[in-house]
Structure 1
Amino acid sequence: MRKFIQSIMLLALSAQLFAQSSDWVYATMTHESALSLQSSHPSGIVILATEGNVSAVQIQHQLAPSLKSGNLHGPGYIYRTDAQDAVQALTKNAPKKFNILDFTITEDMFVNEVLGMVSQENLGNTILELENYGSRFHTTSSGRQAALDLKEKWQEMAQAANREDITVELFQHQLTQQRSVILTIPGTEVPNEIVVIGGHLDSGDWSLQTNAPGADDNASGIATMTETLRILLAKNFHPKRTVQIMAYAAEEIGLVGSNEIATQYNNQNKNVVAMAQFDMTNYNGSSVDVGLINDAQFTSSELNLFWVELMEHYNSTGEHRITYGTTACGYGCSDHVSWTENGYLASFPFESSFGEHNPFVHSEEDTFAAMNNDASHSVKFVKLALEFVIEIAKVSTMSTQELNKTDIQIVVQNRDLIYQFNSSNKSLNSMAIYDSSARNVLSKNQLNASGRISLQGIPSGYYIAVFKDNQGKSHSKKFLLK
C-alpha cells in the first residue's frame, strides 16, 4: 500500500506542472463523473486511482457544475486534503453501526401532539433571515457571521425554554474558517447513542460567492431544523437517546464541514444510530411531496425503509398526508454522504424527485420570493423531522409500551409471512410489501384477520409490510427475509 501511495504522489506531483494554483483541489467522485469530465475537460482533471465506482482525482474546482448536467445541487465531489487522503478514501470501509430492525414506532401520542404545531410563518421568517445575509459562502464575512448568529439563536431558544441541559457549540474546522453549529439534547437513558439531523448553512459555490441568497439551498433546511427545535422545546422533549441538530459549514465546496465532523465521530467511536439530511425542503416541483434519495453507495436503503414506515404510519391520510417516492442524485450530492462513508446509517429526504427540484439553486434567483413567499412545502419536512427524531430517540417522560400497543403482529417463518390483526371493531382491507427502494413487490386484498402469505420468489433483504384496515389506517411492520 505504501508503494502504491508513493506512486500516486508522484503522479500528483507531475500534475502540478499544469496545476499550481488554488483552483485545483483533491477529491473523490463517482468514476462515471470522472470519466465524463476527463472527456469534456481533459486538462482539468487527473484521475489518481479508482476503486469500484469511485475515483480519487485532482480537479479544477470551477469545473464542478459540469459534473451535474445542469442539476445544480451540491458540489458533485467530496473534498480531500491531499492525494494520499483522496486515495485512502477509496478503501475506507467502516462497518454499519446499527440495525434498522431496532427502530420501532411507539410514540403515537407524542408525535400526534406535535404535528399540528408547525408554523409556516416561522419557517418563512427564518428563510428570509438567512437570505438577507446576501451570501453565506464559506469564505465571506457574512457566511462566518451567519454561523455565529445561528448559534446564538439556538442558544437563546434553549435558554427561553429553561433547558440548561441543552448545549450549543461551534465546531472549528481545519479547512474553512466558517464554523458548523451543533446543538445537543442529551439522552436520559442511553446518551451514548446519538440521533442526528443536519443540513448545510453555507450558500453559493466557487462561481457564486458574493450574491448567493440560498433561500431554498439551504436556508429552507436550516429553517426546517430550527422549527423542529422550537416544537421540541415547547413540548419539553427529553429523549432517551441523545439528539444533535447540526448546521454544517462549507458543504458547497465538497462537504467539508460534515466530512470533518463525521470523520471525527467515527475516529472517536461515537455511536450515531441514524442521520437525516435536510437540504432543500421548500420547492414543490413533483407529483410527490418527498423524494427519498436512494443512491446505493451514498444512502442507507434500510433507513429509507424506516422513512417509508414513518410516512405510512403518520402521513398516509388526513391533514398530515405526505406523498413520497424514491429518486437518485447519481453523485455525492449532500452531507449525508459524509456519514455514510464513515459507516453510519444516513438518509436524505429531498423536496422533490431529483431533476424536478428548484431550478434557481446556485443562482442569484434562489430567493424566497421565487418560491412565492410560501413556506408550506417545508411544513411537511418539519413533520418528517419530528417523526424521525421522536421515534428513533424515543420519549423518556412516558411509558410508550403501555400507551401504544400495536394492532398487527407478524412473524416470518419458512419464507411465509404469518400475520394476526387484533381489533374488535376494524377489519383488514389490504396488504402491500415494499422493498428498500420503496418498490411494491407483493400486494394482497380482502384479507382475513389472520393468515399466512407466501414470500417465495422474493429475494432476501429488508422489507416493510403495510396493512390497511377498513377505516383507512395503515399498520406497518419491518421484517428481515433471510
Structure 2
Amino acid sequence: MKKFYLLLLVSTMAVSAYAQNSDWFYATTDSQSAQTLKSEFPEQIQILETKNSVSAVYMTKEVSVKLKENGNLHGPGYIFRKDKNSAIGAINKVNESNMKILDFTIDQDAYVNQVIGQPDATNIGNTIVTLQNYGTRFNTKPTGVQASYDIKSWWQGMADDAGRGDITVEAFNHGFTDQISVILTIPGSEFPDEYVIIGGHLDSGDYWIQNYAPGADDNGSGIATLTEILRVLLANDFHPKRTVQIMGYAAEEIGLYGSADIAESYANANKDVKSVVQFDMTNYNGSAFDIAIIADGAYTSGVLNLYLIDLLEHYNSSGEHQITYDFSYCGYACSDHVSWTENGYMASFPFEAAMGEDNPNIHTTNDTYEAMGSTAVHSVKFAKLGLEYLIETAKVANMGTNDTDAPNLMIAVKDRNLIYDLGNLTPYTNSVVVFDAAGKKLIQKDKLDVKGSVSLQGLPNGFYIAVFKDKDGKAYSKKFLIK
C-alpha cells in the first residue's frame, strides 16, 4: 500500500511539473492545423471541439509556435482565449455583417484630392526608428509596456497640438497583459454611434524572440502608417460624420490578445462598427505590385475588399498617386482583422506584398529600418489608401459634394447583361473590367460604344464591380448586383 501511494505521489508531481513548465492555454485555430499538431505532438495539444473548419484547443506555448512551421503564412495562427468556455463559444458564434455593399460610396473627391499628396515618408521612417529603438516591444517586457503608453501619449499630444479637444485617446486594459491597447476617437458629427476603424498591432517578437525584437516592419511600419494618417487628418482639420477610431493593439504576436478583447467587447455592447481595415507590415516592397489585398474568404470581407479595389481604381489607377495591387492569402489568425471578422464585422487586410514575398526578416533581430533600405516610401502608399478609406466611409462633415464635373455614367443589369450609358464620359472611355467580390478579374471589354451592354452570362448571383477607364487611365467604378 505504501509502495502504491509513493508511486502515485511521484506520478502526480511529474504531471504537475509538466503542466507548469509547459504553460498551457486555450485558443482557437483552423481545424487542419489542429489535427496536424495533434498527430505530431499528441501530448501537447487537446482538441476540445471543431466547427466550420475551426477548432477550440488547449495547447502548450511550445506547440503553438509550430503553427508557423505547419503552413501558417503570417501571424500567430491562433487566437488566444481566456478560458475553455471562451474557446468553445468562439467557434459557435453566428454573426452577420451589418453593412451591405451598396452602402459604400465614393463622393468625397475634393477632400481626398486635397490630402492624398500629404503623407510623408520621412515622418513614417522617423516613427519606425523610434519604435525600433525600444529594443523589444514584446508584451511582457518593460519596454513593450512602456511603448504602448508612449504611443498613447504621442497620439494625445498630436490631438492637443492641433487644438482638438473633441478627440480622446484611451487605454484599453487587458487582464492578461500589462501592455495596453490604444484607442483614439474622432467623434462623428451626424452618426456618432457608427464606427469606422483602422488599426495595427503595437507589439513585436514572439515567444522565442522576446529580449531583442526591433520589429521595424512588424509592426513598427503599421503603427507609423497609422500615426501619419492621423497627422494628415489633424493638419486638415478633419471632422467626420461617422466616428473614426484609430487603434494600436496589444499582444497580437501571441494570439491576437488585444484586438480579440476589443472586438468581443464591441460586439457584446452591440456597437455599430461599419468596417475595419488592418495595417500590419507596410514597408517591404517585395512584389511586382504595391499592395496585396488579403482575400481569405472566411477571414476577410469580400465586400470590403471590393470597396478597397473601388477606391484604388478611383483614386490611384494612374498619375503621381498610382498604386498597383493584386491578391494574396494569409490563413487563420493571420492578423488582427480576424478578431473583427469573427465578431460579425467587415474587415480587410491590405498587406505589403504577396505572402512568401514579404519581409524575410520579421521575427528576427534583423527586422530593422536599415534592412528595409532606410526609407518608408512603400508605407506612404498605405497611408494614402488609409486616408481614402477613412474619408470616404466616415464622410466629411459640412462639406457638400461638387458634382459639376462628375460623370453621369449609368448602369443597370437586365437578363444577365450589364447595360451601360457612358454619359459625359464619351468619347474618352476605352474599356470596362468586371471584378467579383474577391477581386478576381472576370470580364474585360474594350472599344466601348456610347451605349451598350456586356454579357454577364455564367456569373453566379452576387455583388460585382464594373470599372470603366478612359484613355488617360482615369477609372470610374460602379457596383451592381446579380440576383
TM-score range normalised by the length of the shorter chain: over 0.9
Give the corresponding residue for 1:42: 42
- Does the CA-based 8 Å contact 1:71-1:355 persist in structure 2? no
In the aligned structure 2, how far is the partner of 1:251 from the partner of 1:48? 23
Local SS of the residue matching 1:316: coil
Give the corresponding residue for 2:6: none
- Does the CA-based 8 Å contact 2:426-2:450 persist in structure 1? no
Give the corresponding residue for 2:8: none
In the aligned structure 2, how far is the partner of 1:424 from the partner of 1:57? 56
Supply the AA of the counterpart residue of 1:81: K
In the aligned structure 2, how far is the partner of 1:264 from the partner of 1:408? 43
- Does the CA-based 8 Å contact 1:222-1:247 persist in structure 2? yes
Local SS of the residue matching 1:180: strand
Local SS of the residue matching 2:289: coil
| Bigger radius of gyration | 2
Give the corresponding residue for 1:127: 128
Q: CA deviation at 1:89?
A: 1.1
Give the corresponding residue for 2:321: 320
1:255/1:432 CA distance change after superposition, 3 Å: same
Q: CA deviation at 1:217?
A: 0.4
Summarize deviations over 1:396-443 as a string: whole Å, max 9, x none. 131016467344221222322111112266422111101122111111
In the aligned structure 2, how far is the partner of 1:414 from the partner of 1:16? 69
1:13-92 equivalent positions in 2, closer than 5 A: 19-21=19-21, 23-69=23-69, 73-92=74-93
Q: CA deviation at 1:85?
A: 1.4
Give the corresponding residue for 2:396: 395
1:151/1:22 CA distance change after superposition, 3 Å: farther
Give the corresponding residue for 1:286: 287
In the aligned structure 2, how far is the partner of 1:430 from the partner of 1:130? 45
The percentage of counterpart residues that share the same residue type is 55
Supply the AA of the counterpart residue of 1:102: D
Summarize deviations over 1:6-53 as a string: whole Å, max 9, x none. xxxxxxxxx989534462111100011112212332222111111121
Give the corresponding residue for 2:11: none
Local SS of the residue matching 1:156: helix
Give the corresponding residue for 2:265: 264
Supply the AA of the counterpart residue of 1:432: V
TM-score for the superposition, normalised by structure 1: 0.94
Give the corresponding residue for 2:105: 104
Q: Structure 1 regions of 5+ residues with no counterpart?
A: 1-14
Q: CA deviation at 1:330?
A: 2.1
1:439 aligned to 2:440? yes
1:127/1:404 CA distance change after superposition, 3 Å: farther
In the aligned structure 2, how far is the partner of 1:83 from the partner of 1:481? 43
Give the corresponding residue for 2:227: 226
In the aligned structure 2, how far is the partner of 1:119 from the partner of 1:277? 20
1:139 aligned to 2:145? no
In the aligned structure 2, how far is the partner of 1:303 from the partner of 1:403? 28
In the aligned structure 1, how far is the partner of 2:74 from the partner of 2:405? 40
Deviates more, 1:295-304 or 1:22-31: 22-31
Deviates more, 1:417-426 or 1:22-31: 417-426
Summarize deviations over 1:364-394 as a string: whole Å, max 9, x none. 1111111111111101100010011011011
Supply the AA of the counterpart residue of 1:67: L
- Does the CA-based 8 Å contact 2:184-2:245 persist in structure 1? yes
Local SS of the residue matching 1:272: strand
In the aligned structure 2, how far is the partner of 1:316 from the partner of 1:81? 45
In the aligned structure 2, how far is the partner of 1:267 from the partner of 1:16? 36
Summarize deviations over 1:175-208 as a string: whole Å, max 9, x none. 2111000000011111111100000001111111
In the aligned structure 2, how far is the partner of 1:384 from the partner of 1:166? 22
Give the corresponding residue for 1:153: 154
In the aligned structure 2, how far is the partner of 1:352 from the partner of 1:278? 12
1:244 aligned to 2:248? no
Give the corresponding residue for 1:273: 274
1:421-432 equivalent positions in 2, closer than 5 A: 421-423=422-424, 426-432=427-433
In the aligned structure 1, how far is the partner of 2:53 from the partner of 2:36? 13
Supply the AA of the counterpart residue of 2:468: F
Kindly report the root-mean-square deviation, in angstroms, between the aligned alpha carbons of the 2 structures: 1.6
Summarize deviations over 1:261-285 as a string: whole Å, max 9, x none. 1011011111010100000000011
Local SS of the residue matching 1:273: strand
Give the corresponding residue for 1:209: 210
In the aligned structure 2, how far is the partner of 1:73 from the partner of 1:205? 12
1:453/1:16 CA distance change after superposition, 3 Å: farther
Q: Structure 2 regions of 5+ residues with no counterpart?
A: 1-14
Deviates more, 1:226-235 or 1:73-82: 73-82
Local SS of the residue matching 1:116: coil
In the aligned structure 1, how far is the partner of 2:17 from the partner of 2:93? 29
- Does the CA-based 8 Å contact 2:110-2:402 persist in structure 1? no
In the aligned structure 2, how far is the partner of 1:113 from the partner of 1:281? 23
TM-score for the superposition, normalised by structure 2: 0.94
- Does the CA-based 8 Å contact 2:407-2:424 persist in structure 1? no
- Does the CA-based 8 Å contact 1:299-1:345 persist in structure 2? yes
1:194 aligned to 2:200? no
1:174 aligned to 2:178? no
Summarize deviations over 1:100-152 as a string: whole Å, max 9, x none. 21011111111111111111100000000101111111111111111111111
In the aligned structure 1, how far is the partner of 2:133 from the partner of 2:256? 23
